Amino acid sequence: MMTHPSYALLYVADPAASATFYADLFDTRPVDVSPAFALFALEGGMMLGLWAQSVVVPAPSAAPGASELGIRMADDAAVDAVFADWQARGVTIAAAPMKQGFGYSFMGLDPDGHRLRVYALAGG
């Protein structure tokens, strides 16, 4: 039986604050919020969970920034548009838009330092 990942989970200091950040960033509301957890149902079936790192068992062994969420865009112009939007929203930018071996991308950070890479693949 083949399975496919459809869920990303980030460990955060404050799920409510992180939920506010992602609700604004993705222009959607969480489908579930509690003091220790928030859950988003994103386009394409992807689920994004935000779990209070203080209650995760076993405790996380990696700090935020050890992985990243990828947000694919159609082309370089769309990457630039998201970059401008995130700058206007005050999102911390870790890397400005640049050409890389795989395409064009920039990286923002959420309030906990999780990496959010917005990219367009080379050649579409």
pLDDT in tens, 49-83: 999 999 999 999 888 888 899 999 999 999 999 99
| Beta strands, E only, 1-124 | 7-12, 32-34, 37-41, 47-52, 68-72, 92-100, 103-109, 115-121
In percent, the amount of the chain with pLDDT more than 90 equals 84
Q: What's the pLDDT score for residue 58? A: 94
Q: What's the pLDDT score for residue 5? A: 77
The mean pLDDT of the chain is 94
pTM over 0.85: yes
Distance CA 80, CA 96 (A): 9
Spell out the domains of the chain, with CATH numbers in brackets: 1-61 (3.30.720.120), 63-124 (3.10.180.10)
Q: Which of the residues in the chain have pLDDT under 70? A: 1-2, 124
Count Cβ atoms within 10 A of the Cβ of residue 12 and give its class: 0-12 exposed, 13-18 middle, 19 or more buried: buried
